[in-house]
Amino acid sequence: MAEVTLTIGDRAHVVACRDGEEAQLRHLGTLLDERWEVASRASGNMGNERTMLFVALMLADALDEARRQPPGDSPADGASLDRVAEKLEALAATLEDAGPNA
């Protein structure tokens, strides 16, 4: 078993994985960390647990959008990625406006 330290937000997390899966796990950690700042603001800076919930919601929205994409469309299509980014930004703005009780 291998261990990888992922830094997400301002915290380090040691996570075990199978040998050879370290690079993929680091990549996944980076995906979480890339969304941390926006999610933290959206959660009203209410703590790491709530921020991680918002990160998960942002990723779930992106996954849902990708699954709804008609067959044959390229997942790397620029317009599709722009739509996902716009949705995520709108979600973050809505959550920020809702305040800490959201």
User: Could you tell me the residue range of the domain that residue 33 belongs to?
Assistant: 2-98
Could you give the number of structural domains in the chain? Answer: 1
| Contacts (Cβ under 8 Å, ≥6 apart) of 41 | 92, 96
Residues 91, 96, 99, 100: what is their CA dihedral angle, to the nearest 10 degrees?
90
pLDDT tens per residue, range 64-73: 998 888 766 5
In b/e form, how buried is each residue of 17-41, taking b as 16+ CB within 10 angstroms?
Answer: beeeeeeebeebbeebeebbebbbe
| pTM summary value | 0.63
- Whether residue 75 has pLDDT greater than 70: no
* Average pLDDT rounded to a whole number, residues 57-68: 91
pLDDT tens per residue, range 18-27: 999 999 999 9
| Contacts (Cβ under 8 Å, ≥6 apart) of 99 | 44
pLDDT the model gives residue 45: 83
Confidence band of 76 (pLDDT split at 50, 70, 90): low
Residue-averaged pLDDT of the chain: 84
Distance (Å, rounded) from C-alpha 48 to C-alpha 22? 24
